Amino acid sequence: MELIEETPYRFRVERHGDMRVPGMVFASRALLSSGEAQKPLEQVANVATLPGITEASFAMPDMHWGYGFPIGGVAATDVRRGGVVSPGGVGFDISCGVRLLASDLGRDALRPILEQLMEGLNRSVPHGAGRGAVWKLSGPKEMAALLGEGSRYAVEQGYGTDTDLERCEDYGAVGDAVPEQVSERAVQRGLEQVGSLGSGNHFLEVQVVTDVYDNEAAEAFGLREDQVCVMIHCGSRGLGHQTCTDHVRTIEKRMPRHGLRVPDRQLACAPVDSPEGRAYLGAMAAAANYSRANRQLLQAAASRTFQETTGRSLEMVYDISHNLAKVETHEVDGELRELCVHRKGATRALPPGHLDLPAGLAKVGQPVLVPGSMGTSSYVLTGVPDGAAFHSTCHGAGRQQSRHQAARATRANELRADLLKQGVVVRGASARGLAEEAPAAYKDVSAVVEAAEGGGLCRRVARLAPVGVVKG
C-alpha cells in the first residue's frame, strides 16, 4: 500500500475503495521497515470505511497487526452523524493499561536488597494465566459494586487512598458503566482474578529514573533522576475477554438490521446510539472499571512488599488505559462534536489546561506511560497543545515478531543470563513466556517515542530503566 510522506514522522494513506477518510500514520521510515507493516496498513484502510468516521483513521508509531483495528489504531466516529462503535477498536483486554508508582529511594540504596525485593514481589503479586488474586470477591453482588465503581470501590474497601484516585484516568472509574450488561460467564471468570497480572506482555517492573527531559513536568509528576519506581502493566483478565467476545457476537449478528457492512468481519459495529451500541459501551465501561480495580489491588500488594523490604512507601504517579472507546467532545471543522473515540493500543494524552486534569497536573499536562520491552527503557510523556489524533499517542514499543517467531528465535536461559548481566533480575516467567517477550520481539521504544514526539502527539518528560521484572 502506498504511503505519502507528509513529514519525516507523518505518512498518509490516500482514500481509495470504500474509505470515507484518509489514513494517517505516525511513524518513521525505520519503524515502517521493522516488522510486517503491510497488514496493519490494510487495517488502517479498513477502519477508514466505518460509518461516521471523522478526520482520519490514525495509527501510532507502535502500530502492528491486531483484531479488526491495528494495535496502535485510533478512530473517532461522530455520534450524531451515524457514528458506530466497534469492539475491534478496543480489543479483548478492555482498559488494559499502565500504573506508575514512585518512591523516595535511590538506586544505590536499592542494590543490596534488590534480590530480596524481587523475591517478595514474586510471592505477593499473583501472575500467570490461571486463577489466583489479591482479592477473592464474595460473589456477584460485590462484583457488581466493583464493576460500577472501579478503583473507587477498591479504595473504599481499604486498598489505597483518595490521593490514588486523583491520579487515575477518570478518577478511577469510567462513568456510564452498566454491570448488568456483563454476562454471568464473564463475572464467573473475573471473581477470582481481581489483583492479578495475568500472562503475555503484562508485568510488574522495578525501575530507576535515568533521565529527566522536562524538569517542570517531572516535578509535577513526582519524578526525579535516580529514583526507584514501580510500573504495573495489566488489564481486565478473563472478564474483559469474555465481555468483548459476548458483544462481538451480538453486534455481528445484528449488523444487517442497521444496514451495516464492513470489509472485515472483525470490524463488526453498531450505531453508538443503538441498543447494541449502548449495551456494549455499558459493558465495556464496567470491564474497564474491573481493570482499574485490578491495578489498584496490585498496587496495594506491591506497596506492602516494598514497604516491608525497603522501609519506604510508594506514591501514585498516574494510571492510564490504552484499550478503550470513550464518548468525548472535540472540535472538528470549527464546531464542537460528540465523538466516540476508539483507542486500541493507544493512550489518551491530554494537554496542559485540559478540564479533565486534576489541579496538580493542569499546568503541565497528563502523564503518558509508555512501557518498553523487557530489558529496555520505558518513558513518561505528556500531552501537548493541539495534539493530533484527538489527543492520543503510542502505548508501548509494539511487536515486530509474533510470539511464535520470538519463541523460536530465543533461548530462554541465554536471555535470562543476558538480562542479569544488564542488571535486570527476572522472576515468575516460564521459559516459553520469557522467550515470547524477548526485547528483540519488539520495536525500539526510543524510536517509537521519537516518532510520537516528532509527529506532534506528545513530548518526553522522563526515561526509566528496569532493574527487576515480575512476568506472568
Bind-site residues for Mn(2+): 93, 202, 233, 322
Q: Name, in order, each residue with C-beta under 8 angstroms of 112's C-beta and a sequence gap of 6 or more.
A: none
Q: For residues 156 and 62, what is the distance between their CA atoms, to the nearest angstrom? A: 37
Instruction: Give 88's DSSP letter.
Output: G
- 406 Ramachandran zone, left/alpha/beta (phi>0; psi -120 to 50): alpha
Q: For residues 438 and 392, what is the distance between their CA atoms, to the nearest angstrom? A: 27
Cell of 299: 498496587
DSSP E strand boundaries for 194-314: 203-212, 227-234, 270-271
Tell me the catalytic residues.
395
Q: For residues 377 and 69, what is the distance between their CA atoms, to the nearest angstrom? A: 27
Q: Name, in order, each residue with C-beta under 8 angstroms of 408's C-beta and a sequence gap of 6 or more.
A: none
Binding site: what residues are annotated?
93, 201-205, 233, 322-323, 371-374, 378, 395-398, 471
β-pairing, 367-370 vs 10-13, is unpaired
SS3 283: helix
Instruction: Give 209's DSSP letter.
Output: E
Q: Name, in order, each residue with C-beta under 8 angstroms of 91's C-beta and a sequence gap of 6 or more.
A: 66, 67, 69, 71, 244, 323, 344, 345
Contact at 8 Å (CB) between 379 and 329? no
Centroid of chain to Cα 391: 15
Cell of 58: 490514525
Q: Name, in order, each residue with C-beta under 8 angstroms of 292's C-beta and a sequence gap of 6 or more.
A: 95, 97, 150, 151, 168, 169, 170, 172, 173, 174, 319, 321
Q: For residues 306 and 310, what is the distance between their CA atoms, to the nearest angstrom? A: 6
DSSP E strand boundaries for 107-149: none
β-pairing, 23-26 vs 53-64, is parallel
Q: For residues 280 and 243, what is the distance between their CA atoms, to the nearest angstrom? A: 9
> What is the phi/psi pair of residue 319, to 5°?
-130, 125
Contact at 8 Å (CB) between 177 and 286? yes
Closest among 379, 405, 247 to 317, alpha carbons compared:
379
Contact at 8 Å (CB) between 367 and 361? yes
Binding site for GMP: what residues are annotated?
201-205, 322-323, 371-374, 378, 395-398, 471
